[in-house]
Amino acid sequence: MAGLRVGTVALVAAGRRGRWPSLQLMRSAVLWTLKHVPHYSKRCLIVSRSLSSVGYDPNEKTFDKILIANRGEIACRVIKTCKKMGIKTVAIHSDVDASSVHVKMADEAVCVGPAPTSKSYLNMDAIMEAIKKTRAQAVHPGYGFLSENKEFAKCLAAEDVIFIGPDTHAIQAMGDKIESKLLAKKAKVNTIPGFDGVVKDADEAVRIAREIGYPVMIKASAGGGGKGMRVAWNDEETREGFRFSSQEAASSFGDDRLLIEKFIDNPRHIEIQVLGDKHGNALWLNERECSVQRRNQKVVEEAPSIFLDPETRTAMGEQAVALARAVKYSSAGTVEFLVDSRKNFYFLEMNTRLQVEHPVTECITGLDLVQEMIRVAKGYPLRHKQADIPINGWAIECRVYAEDPYKSFGLPSIGRLSQYQEPIHLPGVRVDSGIQPGSDISIYYDPMISKLIAYGSDRTEALKRMEQALDNYVIRGVTHNIALLREVIINSRFVKGDISTKFLSDVYPDGFKGHALTESEKDQLLAIASSLFVASQLRAQHFQDHSRVPVIKPDVAKWELSVKLQDEDHTVVASGSGPVFSVEVDGSKLNVTSTWNLASPLLSVNVDGTQRIVQCLSREAGGNMNIQFLGTVVSEGQEICVIEAMKMQNSMTAGKTGKVKLVHCKAGDTVGEGDLLVELE
């Protein structure tokens, strides 16, 4: 191994009479049991500090009651603004979501069915019944689910209930990729060269692809979220892509129509936020850079984009507004573009809803987009002119998921949050979430934990605040992608702004492996781990009438430790009694300072002027301690730690390479943790 690629360290004392303890730090999976945090506060779900200055006019009447046809963080986000506007809210929920945070935050709640989305959050009949029962005057759909469903909007209109979004014409026109591309061309919006009709079969797909020129993108006309999309570089891949894309489109959207267009290799994904009203006014609220993606789904977003110059920004904004006006768009929406290395930009699609990443726009403009949507839905004109829209500072959003980043950059993880603590005590940090300690991340819904947003006066400050926020984010009980997010934002290419939609695959061609420690970081880790161990032993000495004999003698002034980091033995000498320890690591002297509060899940440690946040994952009575360093958590099943305890070696290892012997599940089965899925031989 070239270097320690994990930030999790296991410390175990293995002392013998007449010798100082020997510590081993190697690679191992971490199992933990953690103390439950205090009572959860709804205030912590929203924004700890006001990052925008939006005024709410109490004399401007909108709605008495709004039903939010969604769940999780976006439902909580909408409820937050409704409360500020003095509007009562109704939450809908499935039976498994009965105790969810959005249900607790709302003034009323109605169960609309069992856990599967088709029977609850997509159950239009049940939702319409909930609207009638609660007498809600308007519905905010959030994103996903029914947010871009024109039939749902029509049902609401038939009952004189306001849909907080665009009208059905705009939803239909922009929801169909073929129709939207034709409308974009008519509005003089730059479009990607391609075939404007519906591709009939695989033979026609090959013919069209040859005419356009390889590579081409085959994608579902009614698609979104990366589904029903394939890149083809030759005839064979075109035939295969046509088959898979049409099948995926039919199952995901009930519409197997496909289109083919030129594939823009190595592009940036940059989108323009637009806002229109029912009086013909429309604005563009600057751009969002969304190029860091995995499987065509966004991972990190920021506003503004480091790549755009004022001229390109204005051109993209004006074209986005031209398209919005072409369909008489009246709400918040997003026009997405692909941008090549020469700043040529091409229309990709328009999302007729609130985007997941809308908070970064709110941070740099000072606007509350949910409030603007509610005002527009009520019929009020926009309050701002284009010249009023600023770019103040820089905002970055990381999507925190219950996913294993070591598997294809993020495969979903399920489980219960045994401990959860958001970093909202930090300046310029906003967390949009809909969970609390004890919440379940289930197989039924998107595994998003939260949207973590950092705001600063410039990009450098925003990135630094994001790094601090990720280090201070405590998530226990589920595997999460904090390690990947942290590595992305400190990566030299990302810091320079050298990114594209292929960023992750370019930077991690063999998959994400975790953080690779530098030599100085190794020394810091050794010093911190040793200091933690000594601090825990000193703390144990303060217990009166304690039957356990401390590993070290009470009168020791200096501790000579043998620490094994990977395959290398290091001599570490620590002296002091806290809060400052003087530590010699292989001849180098470091001063380590902390409060050494071992009951806290977070420890702020200073190593020779460098501030580090260490997370204490677990601490056992016998002295065993697991700590997390520089954000990285290792993947389960990998050998990441060998512990010498009572002269016995205990290790956790990955399974060997082999052939599949038996498969114990089939497509569509519901599986849980611990279930036997596949046997190897």
Handedness of CA 356, 359, 365, 367 (dihedral sign): positive
Residues 6+ apart with CB under 8 A from 147: 69, 70, 141, 165, 352, 353, 354
- Residues 257 and 566: their CA atoms lie apart, in Å, by 54
Are the C-beta atoms of residues 239 and 190 closer than 8 Å to each other? no
Are the C-beta atoms of residues 363 and 51 closer than 8 Å to each other? yes
- Residues 630 and 475: their CA atoms lie apart, in Å, by 15
Neighbour-count burial for 408-434, b at 16+ CB within 10 Å, e otherwise: ebbebbbeebbbbbbbbebebbbbbbb
- Residues 112 and 126: their CA atoms lie apart, in Å, by 5
- Residues 126 and 113: their CA atoms lie apart, in Å, by 7
Set 248, 349, 357, 521: catalytic member: 349
Concerning whether 349 is annotated as a catalytic residue, the answer is yes
Query: Which one, of 270, 262, 367, 369, lies nearest residue 316 by Cα?
Result: 270
- Residues 107 and 103: their CA atoms lie apart, in Å, by 8
- Residues 492 and 253: their CA atoms lie apart, in Å, by 39
Are the C-beta atoms of residues 369 and 359 closer than 8 Å to each other? no
- Residues 22 and 563: their CA atoms lie apart, in Å, by 6
Residues 6+ apart with CB under 8 A from 204: none
Query: Which one, of 140, 161, 172, 107, lies nearest residue 369 by Cα?
Result: 140
| Structure-block tokens of residue 509 | 């061609």
Element (H, E) at 572: strand 568-575
Residues 6+ apart with CB under 8 A from 339: 267, 268, 269, 270, 307, 308, 312, 345, 346
- Residues 11 and 598: their CA atoms lie apart, in Å, by 14
- Residues 484 and 478: their CA atoms lie apart, in Å, by 15
Are the C-beta atoms of residues 252 and 118 closer than 8 Å to each other? no
* CA distance to 119, 289, 427, per residue, from 506 (Å): 41, 18, 33
- Residues 365 and 332: their CA atoms lie apart, in Å, by 14
- Lay out the sheet containing 580-585: strands in order across: 8-11, 625-629, 610-619, 602-607, 588-593, 580-585, 568-575, 558-565, 22-25
- Residues 104 and 98: their CA atoms lie apart, in Å, by 9
Q: Which residue has 């907080």 as its token pair?
A: 164
Q: Which residues are identified as catalytic? A: 349
